[in-house]
Amino acid sequence: NAAQNFRDKLIEGITLGYNPNKINSLINQTLAEPLTWSLNSVRTTQNYAYRESTRANYVNNSEIVGGWKWFAALDGRVCLSCVNQHGREFPLNARLNDHHQGRCTQIPLIDKPERFGLQPPEIELGENWFKNLTRNEQINRMGQAKYNAYLAGEFKFNELSEAYQNDTFGEMLKEASLRSIIGQERANRYYTY
C-alpha cells in the first residue's frame, strides 16, 4: 500500500504540475500513514508478547502463582478503560486484553506469600484512584459530557471498558464512548448541556 500510495501521489503531483516541494509534501503525508500503522502494530505485538510470556511463566509456576492483578500506569496518558481494570484480579487462564499500544501489565498473585517472606503489594482499585482525583482532574480525564452523565448516575465506572474484536489479538478492551454506554439520544443531552 505504501508503494502504491507513493506512486499515486507522484503521478498526481506531476500531472497537476506541482513543484517538487509540494509533491514531496504529498508523498510524506501518505508515507506517515504506514509508519503510524507500523508503530502501532509493533508496540501492540511487543507488549502482547511480553504479557503472554509473563502469563505463561505464571502458569508454569501455578503451585506458587494463583492469578494476577491488572496494573495500569496511572499517569496523564492512561485511558479510563485501563483505570477501570486497574487492581482487578484475574485467574491464570485469563489474558490481559489491553487495547492497541496498551501499556498495562500483570502483577502476580502469590499463594501464601508469607511463606516466601513476601508481602503482597497494595494496589488500589482504579475506580477508587479516580474518585480521589480533584474534580478538574476527573473532568480532564473523562470529558465534561461523560463526567456530567457519570455524576447523574447514567452509568457505572465499570462500564468504561468496551470489548472489541481484532483479527490478530482477539478480544481487546478500549475506553467506551458516552454514546456506546448510554446510547446516542441520551448522550446528546449531555453534549448539548
Identify whether the C-beta of residue 126 lies closer than 8 Å to the C-beta of residue 78.
no
| pTM exceeding 0.75 | yes
Helix or strand run (H / E) with residue 166 = strand 161-166
pLDDT in tens, 86-101: 999 999 999 999 999 9
Identify residue 96 by its one-letter amino acid code. L
The pLDDT of residue 193 is above 70: no
Q: Give dist(CA 122, CA 86) in Å, integer.
A: 12
Q: Give dist(CA 9, CA 102) in Å, integer.
A: 33
The pLDDT of residue 2 is above 80: no
Which whole number is the average pLDDT over 66-93? 96
CA distances from 111 to 54, 94, 150 (A): 17, 17, 37
The pLDDT of residue 116 is above 90: no
> Cα angle vertex 163, ends 135, 69, to 5°?
70
60: exposed, middle or buried (Cβ count in 10 Å: 0-12, 13-18, 19+): exposed
pLDDT in tens, 133-169: 999 999 999 999 999 999 999 999 999 999 999 998 9
